Chain A
């Protein structure tokens, strides 16, 4: 075994977050905290029916209330120009805000009250009286499965993950000696980042907008808004310096953002609109309720002969939301016969959104539980079963993995959690009143890389400023980018600043799908290399041997530029600025993926181990130990990577044991909208955990050797919990969350 791998103790000593100080002192300004003159407050009025038509909106009392400046609805909206265009994208059709009197879900924003203080806007909103012509609403997926449709995306992209797929033969599992054929339900889950979704919209001119906005992509939000309001792209500026979590909820523009912009247009002042916590469960997306059917057939030796996997997910009436629920079934194991079918069911609910580990986390719950169930039928260790079916190359694309250290992950994790303590027979270990069980599951997510640019400003005093439009929703992007630059240049991290979350900064993708380090990190490396070339060029005017210097041998040591090939030819950094009297050197670097994805299949992998204790009388589940072993390539920032991984386990425990967006199907209203009803893990639910990284570089994805991390840390956690609960109790819960009532 390689000694490269990282454990808790190695990572605790690593570099701390560069924005730690501003976050622990309260100095970091999140969206709703940015101060603007003449600020006004917008509060939404929501529909109270699940489907119908607004017949009247009485706004007089609200308008008359002290401090209220305007009440805006479909009756007096300034309008969104894009809604009038003919050629709109018919697949991604956003809710048309205040466009007409139609109501598609309970909680739909139908008006906004703008006032000079928050209290006055809230009171004003309570005075708006709405009447409806109410129609029957449909929000239950199981009851309405007959309404399932093939997504338009499947028709547009027949080879994509949402199209019906067959490798080998369909339903080949039926011919196998050992079979599992079960239904699994993942209920809707709300992202609930701790920062409420917020926006401050300001029209700087008739055709110019500035938005302080909670978003995972400042430039993508700017582009989307520019399109909606038919403005020149450069006239929309978006700032999102600090984002208090998102987990996928801020990957697109939502109705409340359009509302704030419309309101600001109407009142000609900056409008701040902050969602209420309860609104966060139905206004900014959610992991959709998904029903899956998985059938697996294997021979006695554990070799899986056939896998059939169907998925039915919720979507809204106005927009088709799809995700890669079935990808893992196609590529994770070496199975000759695989067929998949993906359907969506349009209902009177708002549009879902990718939530951390998106469809893959949902799919892994069904697949990895089914694999576990198969292991019991075969009387085979579930790790052994996975190793028997290990795919030496990507069975879906039929090309080699860029890197795959899954076998190492299984080994490291099994040793760490003490897998040998597990009993093959469920309900075998008792600890007082608690039944003890161990579970394992695998996670995987594509390792992606996009195009990005970075701007560097280097000063004679040796300090470096890097800028990118990328967001940081919490993983510590400025920290990991600083670590990459520090390693590349030799500059001490404290002399590097990384600024982000500004649409006017150089190009970056959204922070989502675990692509930030691979994408922006590559641009940081390119920029640092460009900077070194420029410095060497300048140094060569003093010492000609610098003409031969290559970037990887150049570093900045203290106040000097050093070439490891020619240690004697050091030059003072400050002297490189003298010749043209420059006060700073500005360098840009670009990086984009090449042809590598044609040759190799890029995935990150994780294996999660859970020790669960189940109280035999009450059915309460306590997670006593959790070990994740992660193959995400080289770890560029160990301390933050460890925290990110622990966060994945915590999210997965929530998914497994408590999170459940319950809708009252009579009204379409979300019942579990507050933290009082929608339970997320709290301190008492979470044990100490061991995060391990294989830390072997991926040779092909990017210069750092990294892959992605943010998704694989949650993908596979919920099934590992469910599998541990089964091992402890002999009770198989296939409908999350695993609440005590399902175990007693």
Chain B
């Protein structure tokens, strides 16, 4: 009990009264409402934490690259971290984690999206395509072929985002001139500086009409 009280006191001392703090307190209170012995035990096992953990999971139904996933996730999980850390789909890159570089670009229901700015749970019922889902089996997507041919990358880290953006750029009708491509591809940073080659790749694919 003594330990419990100390912890409660610390909680009260916090300026912010977050949802997590509330959950912690309420679960501790629930534990106290049981028997004192059980409460001590609950505290030792950090049962309150486990309780809040369980409550904080939300269900998510999402289709990624044609595969259906039914998941339980924390609401603060981003779509990007769901892909990279939970589902091991690491083709989608984390470059800034704040929507400024485009490395994490994926298609959500056909629209290019910075997956780092989208919480996973916001995509319930959505169809997501990542770089891993772009090729048709062993046969590369024309944009992937064009990136290789025109050397549209060096280190390759921004490349999946560039390619996903490039495909969408054509679909959106924003690839009608070199200037237009530059403007509509400016959300994808390439620090190696392959920009001119990327433009050439997109122009060729657009001209080929395969996208």
Contacts and interface: CB of A to CB of B under 8 A. Distances in A.
Interface stretch (A25-33, A91-99, A485-493): A25-33
B38 interface: no
A25 B7 contact: no
A650 interface: yes
Contacts of B10: 60-61
A24 B130 contact: no
Interface in A634-656: 639-640, 642-644, 646-651
Given A66-B52, A194-B157, A647-B194, A683 B199 contact: yes
B186 A25 contact: no
B74 A119 contact: yes
B7 A64 contact: yes
A646 B196 CA distance: 8
Interface in A23-80: 23-30, 32-33, 35, 60-61, 64-67
Interface string A193-223: 1111000000000000000000000000000
A6 to B, nearest CB: 14
Contacts of A689: 196
Contacts of B95: 194-196, 277
A650 B189 contact: no
A418 to B, nearest CB: 19
Contact of A683 (B46, B89, B188): B188
Given A25-B131, A118-B85, A244-B157, A687 B101 contact: no
Given A24-B159, A193-B191, A650-B195, A119 B81 contact: yes
Contacts of B144: 24-25
B168 to A, nearest CB: 14
B155 A473 contact: yes
Interface stretch (B29-37, B107-115, B146-154): B146-154
Most chain B CB neighbours (cut-off 10 Å) among A17, A23, A30, A245: A23
Interface stretch (A461-469, A500-508, A570-578, A672-680): A672-680
Nearest to A192: B191
A32 B85 CA distance: 9
A60 to B, nearest CB: 6
Interface in A163-199: 192-196
Given A25-B144, A117-B85, A245-B191, A684 B150 contact: no
Contacts, number: 193
B151 A119 contact: no
Given A277-B96, A675-B96, A684-B186, A643 B151 contact: yes
Contacts of B198: 683
A151 interface: no
A352 interface: no
A683 to B, nearest CB: 4
Contacts of B94: 32, 196, 274
Contacts of B97: 276-277
B125 interface: no
B7 A688 contact: no
Interface residues of B, number: 69
> Secondary structure at chain A's binding surface: helix, strand, loop or mixed?
loop
B194 A688 contact: no
A26 B154 contact: no
B98 interface: yes
A421 interface: no
A474 interface: yes
Contacts of A33: 84, 90
A118 B194 contact: no
B72 interface: no
B157 A681 contact: no
Contacts of A382: none
A135 interface: no
B158 to A, nearest CB: 5
Contact of B191 (A475, A649, A676, A680): A680
11 contacts: A24-B147, A24-B148, A25-B132, A26-B90, A27-B132, A66-B46, A193-B157, A194-B158, A642-B151, A674-B96, A686-B196
